[in-house]
Amino acid sequence: QDVNQINDRNILEVKVNKDNLLLVEGELADFNQLRELTLNFIVNAEDRANMPEKETVNIPYFGDVAVSKAVISLQNDIGTKYGVYIAVQNELIAARGKLRNDLAIQEFGVPYEKLDEDKKGAVDDFYKVPISEAEPKRIGGN
């Protein structure tokens, strides 16, 4: 999927700059807030215009459901510490994982990891949320 072809409102831009500071949508963010910010963005519970669109998709077990078109773009500066980058990446994956797990429990009564492959696939389709990792480049800072 070409990130350039995705509506801007559907992309959550997460960057780690050369000073290892976290920027979410261009704003400085606290690492401890990242998971919550990501969850809120993906779900877009209030259907805000600056957050992801939803499209109706037919998914096995769920039928016709409104699915978030969220995509996460993770980018780091050339000087970013690898450990910081990995920690940020893990938080993003954890946010998506929590949504999948909550949905599994709600729909099937068991955690995501206990689902069979078919049901896992259905949950994955519900919360696709690709995490696109851009090539490191110089962003901000002087």
Q: Indicate the SS3 state at residue 46.
A: coil
Give the tens place of pLDDT for each residue, 40-86: 999 999 999 999 999 999 999 999 999 999 999 999 998 899 999 99
How far apart (Å, rounded) are the C-alpha atoms in residues 124 and 55?
15
Residues 86/17/31/13 CA torsion (nearest 10 deg):
-90
What one-character-per-residue DSSP string does 52-104 give?
--EEEEEETTTEEEEEE--EEEEEE-TT--HHHHHHHHHHHHHHHHHHHHHHH
Question: Binning pLDDT at 50, 70 and 90, where does residue 3 land?
Answer: very low
Question: Binning pLDDT at 50, 70 and 90, where does residue 94 land?
Answer: very high
19-22: long-range contacts (C-beta < 8 A, 24 or more apart)? Answer: 19/79, 19/141, 20/80, 20/81, 20/84, 22/88
Give the tens place of pLDDT for each residue, 120-129: 999 999 999 9
How far apart (Å, rounded) are the C-alpha atoms in residues 132 and 112?
23
How many CB atoms are located within 10 Å of the residue 47 CB? 10
Q: Residue 6's pLDDT is what?
A: 78
- When mean pLDDT is compared across 20-24, 78-82, 107-111, 121-125, the lowest value belongs to 78-82
For the chain, what is the mean pLDDT? 92
103-111: long-range contacts (C-beta < 8 A, 24 or more apart)? Answer: 103/127, 107/61, 107/62, 108/61
Question: Binning pLDDT at 50, 70 and 90, where does residue 142 land?
Answer: very low
Quick check: 135 pLDDT over 50?
yes
Angle between helices 34-43 and 82-108 (to 10 degrees): 50
Quick check: 16 pLDDT over 50?
yes
